[in-house]
Amino acid sequence: MENYYTVAIFLVLLCAIALPYWLKATRKRREAEHLREKGRKAGILEPTTLHPKIDLLNCIGCGSCVKACPEDVLGIIEGRAAIVNGLHCVGHALCVDACPVGAITLGFGKPTQGMEIPFYDDHLETNVPGLYIAGELGGIGLIRNAVKQGVGAIGHIAAKPRASDGSFDVVIIGAGPAGIGAALAAQEAGLRYLVLEQYDLGGSILHYPRQKLVLTSPVDFPLYGRFKESEISKEDLLALFSTLAREFNLSIECQSKVERINHESQVFRVETNQSTYAARHIILAIGRRGSPRKLNVPGEDLSKVAYRLIEAEQYTNKRILVVGGGDSAIEAAVGLSRQKGNDVTLSYRRGEFVRLKEKNETNIRSMSGSGKVKVIFNSEVAEIRPDVVTLREQEKILRKVENDFVFVFAGGELPGELLKKIGVKLRTEEIVSKVA
């Protein structure tokens, strides 16, 4: 009888300890299945940029990758890791580091859903010998990884013979995160280098909305060391870049737009709006948005149409239409709605938001719920006039929205013309990144 009570007490204690864990695991599994099914129905299960690729034969279903991901991209379904929120992935690569059995690598979408990117090998070198791709242009969407690629490209270049004909060892095109990382690494390696930037220090970060939070992982900069902040504003990040450039006397030439690159024998000739430079190697760190993607509708050439928002405070007591449903569009709409007297409308072609960061999703739901931002789903711009915009909704209904300004956030187009002239091949097939 005593043994019976002992066993009964043991079973009760076991249930008391195990049951909460079982219930929690069941709830997490159901949430993951719900998110996956939601993404499948919307046709957005796989992202169009960098995302985790899971080897199901090696995955042990421990959930380490799920816990490590700050964007809730992964979940456990049927005992294995699975993508449940693909468009939230920005390439942190923390899941790769967290997996104890190496079952995760980073890759791009399939041809039907993927994006066109330049061809490059494990050393980031393209099919054109001596020409490298680093950062966003190659599909890398996170600052830490962009810096890492810039550093990696320089590491491969530094192992080659130095230029002895008076040319640069490397010309780095673009002074964003990848370009800054490459410049610091080149300085550390003692290479003769030059950074060319068509705007100002910071590259594409300059186009971010004011006070936009960026940098969601610590970054290792050559010469400087680890920058440990996990979140930083656009302004503070630009200030950091300025400090790095000044402290280490980086060779950066701003307001220098590259107009042409010619490959002559083993030397590249880089023509800008200011001068011509010779280099043994080139690193393209110019970002994917060579030019903003247009709507191609009547009236888009009006002066009231813009493709980026720098200072929301400049717009008060205005009727504003924001076009798009990504993070940039939401941040612009929310920022503009907080200015005095603005009437903000957001037009999005889908039926719901599907790829927002959690903070942006919370903000837009709050703003739309309070009426500060009017959201029109399943709509597209049909025509833009000086004082009104016509939207075409899902049922082909035309709605006229009185308007003073239009901000379009439809993504950017790959600077394909420049790449084509240089001879860089593009690819859309499924590939795996070695960035992690």
Do both 244 and 136 map to the same domain? yes
**180 located within any domain:** yes
Examine the fold and report which residue of 107, 127, 159 is the final residue of a domain before the chain moves on.
Answer: 107
Q: Which long-range contacts (CB under 8 A, 24 or more apart) does 272-278 make?
A: 272/196, 277/167, 277/168, 277/171, 277/194, 277/196, 278/165, 278/166, 278/167, 278/168
- pLDDT grade, residue 260 (50/70/90)? confident
Do both 242 and 387 map to the same domain? no
Do both 240 and 205 map to the same domain? yes
- Provide mean pLDDT across the span 124-145: 84
Q: What is the dihedral of CA 101, 106, 111, 115, to 10 degrees?
A: 170
> Tell me, what's the pLDDT at 433?
44
Q: In this predicted model, what pLDDT tens digit does every residue of 191-242 receive, in sequence order?
A: 999 999 988 888 777 766 565 656 667 888 999 998 887 777 778 888 899 9
Q: In this predicted model, what pLDDT tens digit does every residue of 116-127 receive, in sequence order?
A: 678 888 899 999
How many distinct structural domains can be found in the chain? 3
Do both 160 and 211 map to the same domain? yes
Examine the fold and report which residue of 57, 83, 107 is the final residue of a domain before the chain moves on.
Answer: 107
Do both 170 and 99 map to the same domain? no
Asked if the model's pLDDT at residue 294 lies above 80, the reply is yes
**296 located within any domain:** no
Do both 324 and 229 map to the same domain? no
Asked if the model's pLDDT at residue 394 lies above 80, the reply is no
- Provide mean pLDDT across the span 399-420: 84
Question: Which CATH number belongs to the domain containing residue 376 in this structure?
Answer: 3.50.50.60
> Tell me, what's the pLDDT at 324?
93
- The residue range of the domain holding 75 is 2-107
Predicted TM-score (pTM) above 0.85: no
The proportion of the chain whose per-residue pLDDT surpasses 90, expressed as a percent, equals 36
Report the sign of the C-alpha dihedral through residues 175, 176, 182, 185, in that order.
positive
**29 located within any domain:** yes
**Residues 286-297, buried b or exposed e (16+ Cβ, 10 A)?**
bbbbeebeebeb
Do both 309 and 206 map to the same domain? no
Cβ–Cβ < 8 Å for 297, 284: no
**358 located within any domain:** yes
- E strands in 134-266: 170-173, 193-196, 213-214, 219-221, 225-227, 232-233, 252-253, 258-264
> Tell me, what's the pLDDT at 14?
62
> Tell me, what's the pLDDT at 336?
93
Examine the fold and report which residue of 84, 107, 130 is the final residue of a domain before the chain moves on.
Answer: 107
Asked if the model's pLDDT at residue 16 lies above 80, the reply is no
Q: In this predicted model, what pLDDT tens digit does every residue of 20-74 receive, in sequence order?
A: 666 666 666 666 666 666 666 555 555 555 678 888 888 888 888 888 887 778 8
Instruction: Pick the more confident residue, 207 or 275.
Output: 275
- pLDDT grade, residue 391 (50/70/90)? very high
For 261, other C-beta atoms within 10 Å of its C-beta total 23
> Tell me, what's the pLDDT at 34?
66
> Tell me, what's the pLDDT at 218?
80
**Residues 140-149, buried b or exposed e (16+ Cβ, 10 A)?**
bbbbbbbbbb
- pLDDT grade, residue 111 (50/70/90)? very low
**114 located within any domain:** no
- pLDDT grade, residue 243 (50/70/90)? very high
> Tell me, what's the pLDDT at 429?
46
Cite the DSSP H helix spans in 108-218.
Answer: 143-158, 177-189
**269 located within any domain:** yes
Do both 83 and 205 map to the same domain? no
Instruction: Pick the more confident residue, 113 or 383.
Output: 383
Do both 367 and 326 map to the same domain? yes
Do both 246 and 324 map to the same domain? no
Burial class of residue 2, CB neighbours in 10 A (0-12, 13-18, 19+): exposed
Do both 360 and 424 map to the same domain? no
**300 located within any domain:** no
**113 located within any domain:** no
Question: Which CATH number belongs to the domain containing residue 45 in this structure?
Answer: 3.30.70.20
Q: What is the mean pLDDT of the chain?
A: 82
Q: In this predicted model, what pLDDT tens digit does every residue of 367-388 receive, in sequence order?
A: 999 999 999 999 999 999 999 9
Do both 283 and 428 map to the same domain? yes
